[in-house]
Structure 1
């Protein structure tokens, strides 16, 4: 489908099913658009089937299904450009099922995606300004410095306003109402109330104030709650007053509610955490340093770091130094080192474009937000390795009694502030160890993404999604071909153990017709599904039921767990891989609950199809009636 214009195809499909007015909803699975129509009779199925790029059309489960194949996400994105359908909620490249922390990471990463480039640029400008001020090139009081500093700091200071827009898109609420809520949180008089130190109340109810500038979680929570309130008001308010009363009541309710709930919760939690770590410094400095080094970036993520600021500033005012600040240097620079490793390791130009400048801003200015939200957190492992490095480095720094005699952002340029108190050499050693651990672990074990592993829109690029491109040939684990020598065949292994079903006998027209390619079906006798080949994961359905893997030789294998199991919306499926991850044959792809699938009335038959069969010499099932997981199932001739 390389020659197909996806937006044009989406428009033709939309016209063929009766136009946008006849469309109630749209999603997609691994191979097909799933449309819900108001009136099926208005759809011209014959015309849709003739469209270039459409493999087949079928109606099942109350859905009008247009089979596209591997490029269905691009057609779905094209649908989003010409209609109110086709938004990001129709599909995702990472599973939203699974543990709560992974789902939280996915959500935060998606909300930050559209602003990553401005965030990276602002962080880099801040780093250069910090360097200019440190080396005396420009005085901080100089008007030029002040103006450029405002330009660099504005996005970070007003971050809640930017996140209000992206969170509103994520949660499908009015983005301008969300901006009004965010604007109130960073309004000068509200900021002043938070710093005045005087009792604050709202309608007689005491308010616990916090500083919401540069905060992340409060506005995301507020916009999420806004969605429920907005939908309630839009449903029950009379049409004559709905348009102006909905935003009026939403802002009037959500701003005080956020200040009354998020502020106290965040403040009390951060005060408790900071008090606990401060107490630990008294009897086990190494442990306190390890905790600060490990979790500082986590504290920043949740806005809990504000609880440490009063203690740090009080220490500086009373005793002239702060022990709490030393472990922050290893913590911050470890995350920056992980970004460098990602920039060197990844094959994705888009990811590298964020990681490299973000690492510079982290090292020179202590500004890690661009890299945390655009690189380390979405990839998970670099974030964890940064935490590990920060923990070890923080412990070493704290053991030497290192402390700062000035309030600075932890960075390389801030090191002079740590020379007067404690063992500065141990701080340098701790920092070096933290950098080494994070860099080496990320470089060796971090995901090595392919060129298509990062969507352009995930880094705010206006270009369309990148196509999958072949990666350089490596040693072939299924054929034994040496590196640098292209294999002539690839063995595709069974992802599960169980009886084999010929693809023609599979009760799904799309697969049984061979339209998706040659392959086999296996009735699983186990709840673990493994990778049939070595390669790169280029597609993971958020429901966890389908996975696309591309081998180094260019063979594209689809593992589709169950028939029409997309309808289960992820229940009974848990993905073990993410898009862009390098995996080996036999690695765990997913775990499933066969009992739940059966109870829901679906067939758990696992389909394994070579989707680019037409571009290969031959794809031959090996004719077995039963397969053991890991045994050869298909012979692919290149």
Structure 2
């Protein structure tokens, strides 16, 4: 029998609150040790995050564990790889078996000693039996400054009466277990042991004490590997039996059932993953990075979008001239965030992907460098070469995908450079060489690929319009915002500009306008349906911005974050695009969405059939999007995902 309770988790130190996936250690960041959070500490005073009994104080003093009366096992890990410091930076005032209360001082840490030793000082908290008891994890906003003892998270857990577990017997694997334990440095060198579907995963105090060659040559052992702070002995299908035999010899106190279950689940999933599953996982990971990188700037993006919409309306009604000083200054304020988006995203994405944020911001600056943009803007100079390598320059202002690719590659490039450049030269040469390599990857590799794909897609979509405006509207309406995400929409922009410049109108731009309304309608539906106060604020601002012609806040702040919303919004957009194509709605200026309605008034004719077609298509799309997302695209249950920072405003029943 079990019942549920909500326990509070206090910050163990002063500092900056981080999500667990921001930790630069895969064992913790991937949740292998359980759900939790991390803090970049600003002070060395460590307090107990919960009340309970101390179950562990590491011999090297770098970690301690507390079990609450409700059965939650809470681990606090002080720094990354600080086990190697052999307790030097830590002064401990607790011991195993002590009863502590939340907020009680337990350890003092010399942060300078940790950083001087070249280690990360990040303090990590994890509920190590998350898989067994955790139902929901609630974390307040990351990247915020908090104080020791402040409640920063909550955990909804199952309270289960503890039952004594008898260790399994190792059968015929007792001798192998004895040999493995002896050659990893003995029982005294083991901190803990878990296993996945093929490997024993030891957490050793000193992996240098392990005799790799001897272990690899033991009958029953396939190989040895070291990864993620673990000493891994590859066994194969008999791993569970060998694990039981080892635990029988060293004792059940070295187990971590939650982490073992997590490792088994992860490796089983990875092994059984189909090609399609791997593709879906890759897309999901990409979207996760994309939205996490955008979240810090969603507010300024939404505000800038609204300002740009107001300016579009003022110029549309001839209240402001585009050449006036007032317009130029206000437009610069509204446009700057979008223009310099690669620089901003370079910084935020690098933090998410553990690359160098400053270097990636510089890379963002390089790809939007004015001289390169000038060359890219002219057909005669866009095709150039670098050291004889042909390349096509394009404008990367307001782009997202290329700099995300660079941020992902950054940590690998930096890792390689550290291997080949002497220590005393690294501070000077690594940053500039990394910026050089990543910039060239974008300019020479990503740019031409995007250009070719964009041109191909654009030509195909235009050809479809010539065949059937309705079909073209359906296809373009459905895929355009996805094209925006990957930077493939740029091929359509010159077509739209050319249509307006030469013909005075553009049917294609009418369909692009519809996609903005659909995305805005989706977040408007979220605003109407959610009970989450923070999500309401974000959604309303994103909706207004989208109706003003700027969809980034809607896309990256809400719709992609909760993927089903984006899918349903794209369906609504496809239907609206088909309606626009069927009515042959025309656009007479580079403006659109709801705020850009003057661009649909036919010059010399005034309000007539085209404008009525605009009203029917755009407000019809708005209605379709709101209704579909409200009914099928969103529910507050989608906020119940682990580590969603918006969860704290949702009532937990």
Report the TM-score when normalising by structure 1: 0.62
Which residue, 481, 486, 489 being the options, matches 1:305? 489
1:119, distance to aligned residue in structure 2 (A): 1.4
Aligned to 1:266: 450
Structure 1 contact 7–78 (Cα < 8 Å) conserved: no
Question: Structure 1 residues 49, 457: CA separation in 2 closer, same or farther (over 3 Å shift)?
Answer: farther
- Aligned-partner Cα distance in 2 for 1:236–1:426: 64
| Secondary structure class of the residue paired with 1:140 | coil
Aligned to 1:426: 613
1:263-291: per-residue Cα shift (whole Å, max 9, x none)? 01111101000000111111122111111
Structure 1 contact 33–76 (Cα < 8 Å) conserved: no
Aligned to 1:374: 557
Structure 1 contact 389–433 (Cα < 8 Å) conserved: no
Aligned to 2:118: none
Aligned to 1:131: 313
- Aligned-partner Cα distance in 1 for 2:138–2:82: 20
Question: Is it true that 1:240 corresponds to 2:440 in the alignment?
Answer: no
Structure 2 contact 60–83 (Cα < 8 Å) conserved: no
Which residue, 601, 610, 622 being the options, matches 1:435? 622
1:433, distance to aligned residue in structure 2 (A): 2.4
Structure 2 contact 308–331 (Cα < 8 Å) conserved: yes
Question: Structure 1 residues 79, 285: CA separation in 2 closer, same or farther (over 3 Å shift)?
Answer: closer
Question: Is it true that 1:5 corresponds to 2:41 in the alignment?
Answer: no
| Secondary structure class of the residue paired with 1:200 | strand
Question: Is it true that 1:394 corresponds to 2:394 in the alignment?
Answer: no
Aligned to 2:360: 178
1:82, distance to aligned residue in structure 2 (A): 9.4
Structure 1 contact 32–72 (Cα < 8 Å) conserved: no
Structure 2 contact 518–622 (Cα < 8 Å) conserved: yes
1:110, distance to aligned residue in structure 2 (A): 1.1
1:23, distance to aligned residue in structure 2 (A): 6.9
Question: Is it true that 1:231 corresponds to 2:410 in the alignment?
Answer: no
1:423-449: per-residue Cα shift (whole Å, max 9, x none)? 443343222221111101112233332
Which residue, 413, 416, 419 being the options, matches 2:599? 416
| Secondary structure class of the residue paired with 2:394 | coil
Q: What is the aligned residue count?
A: 447
Question: Is it true that 1:360 corresponds to 2:544 in the alignment?
Answer: yes
- Aligned-partner Cα distance in 1 for 2:611–2:142: 54
Alignment of 1:266-305 (within 5 A): 266-305=450-489
Structure 1 contact 288–398 (Cα < 8 Å) conserved: yes
- Aligned-partner Cα distance in 1 for 2:143–2:541: 31
Which residue, 534, 538, 541 being the options, matches 1:350? 534
Question: Structure 1 residues 324, 243: CA separation in 2 closer, same or farther (over 3 Å shift)?
Answer: same
- Aligned-partner Cα distance in 1 for 2:309–2:298: 16
Query: Quick check: 140-149 or 285-294, which moved more?
Result: 140-149
Aligned to 1:51: 100
Structure 1 contact 158–214 (Cα < 8 Å) conserved: yes
Question: Is it true that 1:154 corresponds to 2:336 in the alignment?
Answer: yes
- Aligned-partner Cα distance in 1 for 2:359–2:598: 43
Question: Structure 1 residues 82, 188: CA separation in 2 closer, same or farther (over 3 Å shift)?
Answer: farther
1:537-585: per-residue Cα shift (whole Å, max 9, x none)? xxxxxxxxxxxxx4xxx2xxxxxxxxxxxxxxxxxxxxxxxxxxxxxxx
| Secondary structure class of the residue paired with 1:207 | strand
Structure 1 contact 451–468 (Cα < 8 Å) conserved: no
Structure 1 contact 127–360 (Cα < 8 Å) conserved: no
Question: Structure 1 residues 314, 79: CA separation in 2 closer, same or farther (over 3 Å shift)?
Answer: closer
Structure 1 contact 323–403 (Cα < 8 Å) conserved: yes
1:2-51: per-residue Cα shift (whole Å, max 9, x none)? 77632449833699957999479xxxxx9644857626985967369633
Aligned to 2:222: none
Structure showing greater Rg: 2
1:221, distance to aligned residue in structure 2 (A): 0.3
- Aligned-partner Cα distance in 1 for 2:650–2:472: 47
Question: Structure 1 residues 142, 124: CA separation in 2 closer, same or farther (over 3 Å shift)?
Answer: same
Aligned to 1:116: 298
- Aligned-partner Cα distance in 2 for 1:75–1:347: 17
| Secondary structure class of the residue paired with 2:385 | strand
- Aligned-partner Cα distance in 2 for 1:324–1:369: 20
Question: Is it true that 1:145 corresponds to 2:145 in the alignment?
Answer: no
CA-based RMSD: 4.2
Question: Structure 1 residues 336, 40: CA separation in 2 closer, same or farther (over 3 Å shift)?
Answer: same
- Aligned-partner Cα distance in 1 for 2:362–2:143: 31
Question: Structure 1 residues 47, 135: CA separation in 2 closer, same or farther (over 3 Å shift)?
Answer: farther
Alignment of 1:52-91 (within 5 A): 52-53=101-102
Question: Structure 1 residues 466, 320: CA separation in 2 closer, same or farther (over 3 Å shift)?
Answer: closer
Aligned to 1:404: 587
Aligned to 2:511: 327
| Secondary structure class of the residue paired with 2:591 | coil
Question: Structure 1 residues 224, 142: CA separation in 2 closer, same or farther (over 3 Å shift)?
Answer: same
Aligned to 1:196: 378
Report the TM-score when normalising by structure 2: 0.61
| Secondary structure class of the residue paired with 2:573 | helix
1:386, distance to aligned residue in structure 2 (A): 1.6
Which residue, 38, 55, 70 being the options, matches 2:83? 38
- Aligned-partner Cα distance in 1 for 2:74–2:414: 32
- Aligned-partner Cα distance in 2 for 1:147–1:19: 62
Gaps of 5+ in 2: 1-5, 15-38, 40-45, 65-71, 104-123, 153-227, 230-258, 271-276
Gaps of 5+ in 1: 25-29, 55-62, 459-464, 471-549, 555-638
